[in-house]
């Protein structure tokens, strides 16, 4: 029968490299061609930066350029959006529509799927930061040295991790239709309180206290540090961001296992 014939053939192997490259490449195409994702992920930070950063090109706060401050803030904002929408919303939707089941029934390694989602968040966060830098330099008179720019890019990409894993939790827990709304409910207040839109010092004291519990606050600290706004936060901020990542990964694992046992 067909069974024995297959066994007799020399075993052809799946090219892992091609598999992962395809998964990542098509995941990128998929989202880059989708207008609603593009708007949520790139549109928000770019429009906000044009509205609040570029129009404040000559303003300063406590001797610092506001346009430069907001460059770091909206880069963080863009990275958070890329992670929460690119991973959270897309996972919730693919799960809700049965597409994920179809992929899970195939021999696709789960790691390829997750890695592709993560790659999307990295790529969009990186591109948004680059775009904001361009806008800042061209339209808002922002001064940025090459090392500063590279440092900011590196920090933004690394800072994707806690939000990517938070996106994973949202994607697992939320039904498809509710996910964009829930993401906005997390994304926008967290950005505001974290000091991504306004210097944290301008917020009421109690909000500043609350902000210390948010990964967005620590993300903003390290991003601002690359442009010389803050100093001395890095070790503790990275430790906490790493802690959030571990916590979210563990939580996502637990949720996944619980859902599996009920599937």
Partner 1 sequence: MGAVTTEFSEIAGAEPTAGGTVASLQSVTKKFKEQTALDGFSLELRAGEVVALLGPNGAGKTTAVRLLLGLSEPTAGTVRIFGGDPRERASRERLGAMLQVGRMPDTLKVREHLQLFCSYYPKPRPLDELLAIAGLEGQQDKYFGKLSGGQKQRMLFALALCGDPDLVFLDEPTLGMDVEARRSLWQQVRALSAAGKTILLTTHYLEEADALASRIVVMQTGRVVAEGRPEDLKAAQGSRTIRCVTSLNAVFLSGLSGVISAERDGETTVVRTESAESVLRTMLQEDRNLSRLEVRSAGLEETFLALTNHASHTAGKIQ
Picking from 257, 178, 246, the residue whose alpha carbon sits closest to that of residue 215 is 246
19 versus 247: smaller Cβ distance to partner 1? 19
Q: Write down the least CB distance from residue 180 to partner 1, Å.
A: 16
- Does the footprint of partner 1 cover residue 97 (CB under 8 A)? yes
- Does the footprint of partner 1 cover residue 146 (CB under 8 A)? no
- Of 39, 51, 60, 99, the one binding partner 1 by CB under 8 A: 99
- Of 54, 55, 57, 109, the one binding partner 1 by CB under 8 A: 109
- Does the footprint of partner 1 cover residue 3 (CB under 8 A)? yes
The rounded distance, in Å, linking the Cα atoms of 179 and 79 is 18
- Of 43, 50, 55, 108, the one binding partner 1 by CB under 8 A: 108
- Does the footprint of partner 1 cover residue 12 (CB under 8 A)? yes
The rounded distance, in Å, linking the Cα atoms of 190 and 218 is 11
- Does the footprint of partner 1 cover residue 6 (CB under 8 A)? yes
C-alpha distance across the termini of the chain, in Å: 34
**CB-based contact 174:180 (threshold 8 Å):** no
Virtual torsion, Cα 112, 117, 122, 127, nearest 10 deg: 120
22 versus 55: smaller Cβ distance to partner 1? 22
Q: Write down the least CB distance from residue 127 to partner 1, Å.
A: 17
**CB-based contact 252:169 (threshold 8 Å):** yes
Q: Write down the least CB distance from residue 73 to partner 1, Å.
A: 30
Stretch that binds partner 1, among 22-30, 71-79, 138-146, 162-170 (CB under 8 A): 22-30
Specify the DSSP element, H or E, that contains 16.
helix 16-32
**CB-based contact 74:42 (threshold 8 Å):** no
- Does the footprint of partner 1 cover residue 119 (CB under 8 A)? no
26 versus 39: smaller Cβ distance to partner 1? 26
- What are the Cα distances from residue 24, in Å, to 16, 27, 31, 99, 111? 12, 5, 11, 17, 11
DSSP state of 232: S
The rounded distance, in Å, linking the Cα atoms of 4 and 257 is 36
- Of 62, 106, 145, 231, the one binding partner 1 by CB under 8 A: 106
- Does the footprint of partner 1 cover residue 259 (CB under 8 A)? no
- Of 206, 231, 235, 260, the one binding partner 1 by CB under 8 A: 260
Positions 55 through 94 that interact with partner 1 (CB under 8 A):
94
Q: How many residues does the chain have?
A: 263
Q: Write down the least CB distance from residue 23 to partner 1, Å.
A: 7
Specify the DSSP element, H or E, that contains 65.
strand 64-65
177 versus 202: smaller Cβ distance to partner 1? 177
The rounded distance, in Å, linking the Cα atoms of 56 and 88 is 33
Which residue ranges make up the site for partner 1 (CB under 8 A)? 1-3, 6, 9, 11-15, 18-19, 22-23, 26, 29-31, 33-34, 94, 96-99, 101-102, 104-109, 260-263
């Amino acid at each position: 029968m067909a069974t024995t014939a297959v066994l007799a053939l020399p075993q052809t192997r799946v090219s892992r490299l091609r598999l992962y490259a395809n998964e990542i490449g098509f995941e990128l195409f998929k989202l880059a061609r989708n207008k609603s994702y593009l708007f949520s992920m790139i549109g928000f930070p770019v429009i906000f930066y044009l509205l609040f950063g570029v129009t404040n090109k000559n303003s300063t706060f406590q001797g610092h350029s506001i346009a430069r401050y907001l460059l770091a803030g909206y880069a963080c904002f863009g990275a958070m959006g890329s992670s929460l929408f690119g991973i959270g919303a897309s996972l919730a939707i693919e799960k809700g529509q049965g597409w994920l089941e179809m992929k899970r029934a195939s021999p696709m390694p789960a790691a390829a799927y997750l890695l592709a989602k993560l790659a999307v968040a990295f790529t969009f966060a990186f591109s948004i930061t680059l775009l904001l830098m361009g806008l800042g330099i061209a339209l808002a008179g922002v001064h940025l040295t090459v090392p500063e720019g590279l440092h900011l890019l590196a920090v933004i990409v690394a800072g994707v991790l806690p939000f990517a894993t938070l996106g994973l939790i949202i994607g697992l827990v939320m039904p498809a239709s509710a996910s964009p709304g829930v993401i906005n409910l997390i994304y926008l207040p967290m950005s505001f309180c974290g000091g991504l839109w306004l210097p944290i010092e301008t917020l009421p004291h109690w909000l500043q206290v609350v902000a210390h519990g948010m990964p967005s606050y620590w993300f903003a600290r390290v991003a601002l540090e690359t442009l010389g706004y803050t100093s001395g936060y890095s070790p503790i901020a990275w430790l906490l961001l790493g802690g959030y990542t571990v916590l979210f990964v563990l939580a996502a694992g637990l949720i996944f296992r619980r859902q599996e046992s009920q599937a």
